[in-house]
């Protein structure tokens, strides 16, 4: 299969993911809730630091803290961050599965399913946080070569964990086995590139550019501040839509690989995109 054909198939799968999202518009609430939760988490960490410094922002200086304190703080932030992201992604993936099976799709059902998998989500958050902190430590305490190595490892880790969320959602395995399972699935179906993700990136870039500029000029008619606010809101809205569509894509490919019927995305198209080397 030519590269042009792969681009075409990747684009088609991306568009099919948007079709699923269009039929279940409520699914976009999951990345929105995830984003709001992360903002609140960042705010809570900053508030805790501010309170510890006697509510004097100028006296906050993490560099004065011991390396152990800095490591533990970073680790705690990573754990909570990964937990929140995976929690809402799993809820969205489960709603996608309900849709594939012709069942009623509701936000409540997605949240309830993630709640039933809290221990698994937390276990994965611990593993992901450990890797994240290690990579960050390497980047912050090494030269250019170390940063490059950490970046490469980060890319490899992202590819290896591509299917981790649906794996831990539906397969009775621990975090380490989930990575192995995800890696095996990717090796089985890996092609030259994840063209669909590239398609999502292009759509996000063009959509954000168009929405941001358009909304800025509309808002600036009344006030520059309003223009900036509307532009940011527009870009964030595009981000939420793209994030939901990407998660639907992951769910669709996972269920297709495991043999579950998937509406809109046929087996041949997925095989073409994730063809064996």
The mean pLDDT value for 34-51 works out to 80
pLDDT in tens, 62-91: 555 666 777 788 888 899 999 999 999 999
Residue 6: pLDDT band (50, 70, 90) is low
- Percent of the chain past pLDDT 90, that is, above it, reads 29
pLDDT in tens, 144-171: 777 888 888 888 888 888 889 999 999 9
Query: What is the pTM assigned to this prediction?
Result: 0.81
Give the per-residue pLDDT at 194.
58
Does residue 261 carry a pLDDT above 80?
no
Which of 165-201 are b and which e, b meaning 16 or more Cβ less than 10 Å from the residue's Cβ? bbbbbbeebebeebbebbbebbeebbbeebbbbebbe
Residue 187: pLDDT band (50, 70, 90) is confident
Rounded CA separation 59/185 (Å): 50
pLDDT in tens, 100-154: 888 888 999 999 999 999 999 999 999 999 999 888 888 877 777 778 888 888 8
CA–centroid distance for 180 within its chain: 19
Q: In this structure, is the dihedral angle defined by the CA atoms of residues 229, 41, 175 and 151, taken in order, positive or negative?
A: positive
Rounded CA separation 100/80 (Å): 30
8 A C-beta contact, residue 243 and residue 234: no
Give the per-residue pLDDT at 155.
86
CA–centroid distance for 121 within its chain: 14
Give the per-residue pLDDT at 268.
58
Residue 192: pLDDT band (50, 70, 90) is very low
Structure tokens at 211: 């929405």
């Amino acid at each position: 299969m030519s590269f042009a054909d792969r681009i075409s198939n990747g684009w088609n799968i991306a568009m099919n993911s948007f079709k699923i999202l269009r039929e279940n518009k409520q699914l976009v609430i999951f990345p929105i809730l995830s984003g709001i939760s992360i903002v609140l988490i960042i705010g809570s960490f900053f508030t805790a630091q501010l309170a510890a410094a006697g509510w004097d922002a100028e006296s906050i200086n993490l560099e004065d803290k011991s390396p152990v304190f800095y490591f533990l703080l970073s680790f705690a932030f990573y754990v909570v961050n990964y937990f929140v992201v995976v929690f809402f992604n799993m809820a969205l993936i489960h709603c996608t599965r309900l849709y594939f099976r012709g069942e009623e799709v509701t936000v409540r059902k997605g949240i309830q399913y993630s709640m039933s998998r809290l221990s698994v989500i937390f276990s994965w958050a611990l593993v992901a946080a450990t890797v994240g902190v290690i990579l960050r430590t390497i980047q912050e305490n090494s030269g250019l070569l170390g940063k490059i190595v950490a970046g490469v490892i980060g890319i490899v880790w992202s590819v290896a964990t591509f299917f981790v969320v649906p794996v831990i959602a539906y397969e009775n395995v621990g975090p380490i086995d989930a990575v192995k399972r995800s890696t095996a699935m990717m090796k089985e179906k890996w092609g030259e590139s994840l063209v669909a993700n590239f398609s999502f990136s292009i759509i996000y870039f063009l959509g954000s550019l168009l929405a941001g500029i358009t909304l800025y000029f509309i808002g600036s008619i009344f006030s520059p501040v309003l223009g900036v606010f509307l532009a940011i809101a527009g870009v964030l809205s595009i981000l939420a839509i793209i994030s939901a569509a990407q998660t639907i894509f992951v769910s669709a490919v996972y269920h297709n690989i495991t043999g579950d019927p998937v509406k809109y995305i046929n087996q041949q198209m997925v095989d073409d995109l994730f063809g064996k080397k």
